[in-house]
């Protein structure tokens, strides 16, 4: 039986609590939140769980697993304490506020032999599982581009900009699909309300093999769009995460390119074929991820979304900050991106 402590009962905390509480292998022992109204909600929803307002949970000897769902700027301190106290750690994304912190947590977890996992939830959705399958099997062919639009009228985060809020989804998905292969990144954006944090931003990420990813991120959009297009040499796919059905559509479409003599040496003709929307598992991603986390702890497996993955994502985010400051300059990342 794993005793689980959760710190942070805000937007995402209740989902974490519910999913850990459901597991037979877990006991949701304690929930901590500084806000009284959030504690009241936690008490009502989990009557058998102790609900507290401080961080004693990090040092509680009977807690095996710490789940950290607080604002980003607090992640490092909390996770470090938890690891030093010998606890396995589940941490929300983005992992930390900078890569140095992330690296320290990775090393600490490794030296202690503890499991450190970053909650890149999308990896555990049926849609991304299907995308991974399509990439790995070669069905899409060589990838040309990855283009993601994540826009809506959103509650502004207080301590991070729209890139740190939304780009971890795409960065972790690409990390999962392709492995560590980011070479460089560029970002431009606007901070319309002088909060110090961009609310609209555009990010280009340059991967190995001339693959370019683009993220369009916006907290000021009147419509909610979550749409990712992956263009491959053989097939292309569109992932519409707002759609309730047919989230993934695979298009047997492409461009036939032939070279020839003459003025126009290259002739590119569209190739059009069937579209297929495969059945996608609709199991709750977080449920799958919690199961996986527990099995990683028990079997001492390294999670695909381990601290290294979290570090890679944070390193890219950090580079976007630099690029934003330098007017969209391309920031190289090659030396930072490794698997372990």
- Which residues of the chain form contacts with a copy of itself (CB under 8 A)? 47-48, 144-145, 147, 149, 151, 153-156, 158, 186, 188-190, 192-195, 199-200, 202, 204, 210, 212, 214, 216, 218-224, 229, 231, 236-238, 242, 244-246, 249, 251, 253, 255, 257, 263-266, 268-270, 272-279, 327-330
The DSSP symbol for 261 reads S
Measure the CA–CA gap between 13 and 68, rounded to whole angstroms: 9
CB of 224 to a copy of itself, least distance (A): 7
Q: Which CB, 158 or 298, lies closer to a copy of itself?
A: 158
CB of 36 to a copy of itself, least distance (A): 17
CB of 68 to a copy of itself, least distance (A): 19
Q: Which CB, 102 or 134, lies closer to a copy of itself?
A: 134
Q: Coil, helix or strand for 282?
A: coil
Q: Where are the beta strands (DSSP E) in 83-181?
A: 88-92, 116-119, 143-153
Q: Half-sphere exposure of 221 toward its Cβ, with a 13 Å CA cutoff?
A: 15
Other Cβ atoms within 10 Å of 25 Cβ, number? 14
CB of 195 to a copy of itself, least distance (A): 5
Tokens, residue 171:
């960065």
Q: Which CB, 111 or 259, lies closer to a copy of itself?
A: 259
Q: Which CB, 9 or 239, lies closer to a copy of itself?
A: 239
Among the listed residues 67, 104, 70, the one whose alpha carbon sits nearest the alpha carbon of residue 87? 67
Answer for the pair 294, 25: CB distance below 8 angstroms, yes or no.
yes
Q: Coil, helix or strand for 66?
A: strand
Measure the CA–CA gap between 241 and 109, rounded to whole angstroms: 34
Q: Which CB, 85 or 221, lies closer to a copy of itself?
A: 221
CB of 95 to a copy of itself, least distance (A): 22
CB of 53 to a copy of itself, least distance (A): 17
What residues contact residue 225 under an 8 Å CB cut-off, 6+ apart? 149, 150, 151, 152, 242
Category of 12 on φ-ψ map: left (φ > 0), alpha (ψ -120 to 50) or beta? alpha
Q: Which CB, 136 or 142, lies closer to a copy of itself?
A: 142
CB of 32 to a copy of itself, least distance (A): 19
Q: Which CB, 269 or 334, lies closer to a copy of itself?
A: 269
CB of 274 to a copy of itself, least distance (A): 5
Cα dist from 305 to 54, 115, 172, 188, whole Å? 28, 11, 8, 27
Q: Which CB, 63 or 324, lies closer to a copy of itself?
A: 324
Torsion of CA 182, 186, 120, 146, to 10 degrees: -70
Tokens, residue 187:
């970002």
């Amino acid at each position: 039986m794993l005793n689980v402590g959760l710190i942070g009962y805000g937007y995402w905390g209740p989902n974490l609590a519910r999913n850990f509480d459901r597991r037979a292998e877990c006991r949701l022992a304690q929930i901590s939140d500084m806000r009284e109204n959030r504690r009241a909600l936690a008490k009502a929803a989990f009557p058998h769980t102790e609900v507290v307002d401080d961080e004693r949970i990090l040092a509680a000897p009977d807690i095996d697993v710490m789940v950290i769902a607080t604002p980003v700027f607090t992640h490092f301190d909390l996770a470090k304490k938890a690891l030093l106290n010998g606890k396995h750690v589940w941490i929300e994304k983005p992992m930390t506020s900078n890569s140095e912190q992330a690296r320290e947590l990775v090393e600490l977890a490794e030296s202690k032999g503890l499991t450190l996992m970053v909650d890149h939830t999308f990896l555990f959705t049926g849609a991304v599982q299907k995308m991974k399958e399509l990439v790995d099997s070669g069905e899409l062919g060589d990838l040309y581009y990855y283009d993601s639009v994540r826009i809506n009228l959103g509650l502004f985060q207080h301590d991070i900009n729209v890139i740190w809020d939304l780009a971890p989804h795409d960065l972790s998905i690409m990390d999962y699909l392709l492995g560590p292969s980011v070479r460089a990144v560029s970002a431009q954006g606007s901070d319309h309300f002088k909060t110090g944090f961009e609310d609209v931003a555009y990010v280009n990420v340059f991967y190995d093999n001339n693959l370019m990813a683009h993220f369009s991120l916006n907290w000021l959009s009147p419509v909610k769009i979550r749409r990712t297009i992956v263009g491959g040499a053989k097939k292309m796919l569109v992932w519409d995460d707002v759609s309730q059905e047919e989230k993934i559509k695979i298009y047997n479409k492409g461009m036939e390119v032939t070279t020839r003599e003459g003025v126009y040496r290259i002739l590119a003709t569209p190739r059009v074929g069937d579209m297929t929307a495969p059945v996608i598992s609709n199991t709750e991603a977080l449920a799958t991820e919690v199961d996986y986390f527990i099995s990683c702890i028990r079997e001492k497996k390294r999670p695909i979304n381990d601290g290294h993955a979290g570090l890679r994502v944070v390193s890219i985010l950090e580079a976007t900050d630099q690029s934003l400051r330098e007017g969209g300059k391309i920031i190289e990342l090659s030396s930072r991106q490794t698997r372990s």
